[in-house]
Amino acid sequence: MNIVDLTHMFDSDMPAYPGDPKSTLVQATTIEKDGYTDHKLSTLMHVGTHMDAPLHMIPNGRRMDDMPLSQCFGPGVLIDAREKKTVDADLLHGITIPKNAFVLVYTGYEEKWKTDDFFVGHPPITEAFAQKMVEANVHGVGMDMIGPDEPPYPTHKILLGNGIFIIENLTNLDKLLGKSFDVMAIPMKLHTDAAPVRVIATLQGESS
**Residues 160-169: tens digit of each pLDDT:** 999 999 999 9
- Cβ burial, residue 79 (10 Å; 0-12/13-18/19+): buried
41: which strand partners? 25
pLDDT value for 208:
47
**Residues 78-127: tens digit of each pLDDT:** 999 999 999 999 999 999 999 999 999 999 999 999 999 999 999 999 99
Rounded to whole angstroms, the maximal C-alpha distance in the chain is: 61
In angstroms, rounded to a whole number, what is the distance separating the alpha carbons of residues 33 and 80? 51
In angstroms, rounded to a whole number, what is the distance separating the alpha carbons of residues 107 and 87? 9
**Residues 36-86: tens digit of each pLDDT:** 999 999 999 999 999 999 999 999 999 999 999 999 999 999 999 999 999
**Residues 2-49: tens digit of each pLDDT:** 999 999 999 989 999 889 999 999 999 999 999 999 999 999 999 999
Q: pTM of this prediction? A: 0.96
Which candidate, 187, 170, 179, 166, places its Cα nearest to that of 72?
Answer: 187
Q: What percent of the chain has pLDDT over 70?
A: 98
Query: What residues does each domain of the chain span?
Result: 2-203
Task: Tell me the CATH number for domain 2-203.
Answer: 3.50.30.50
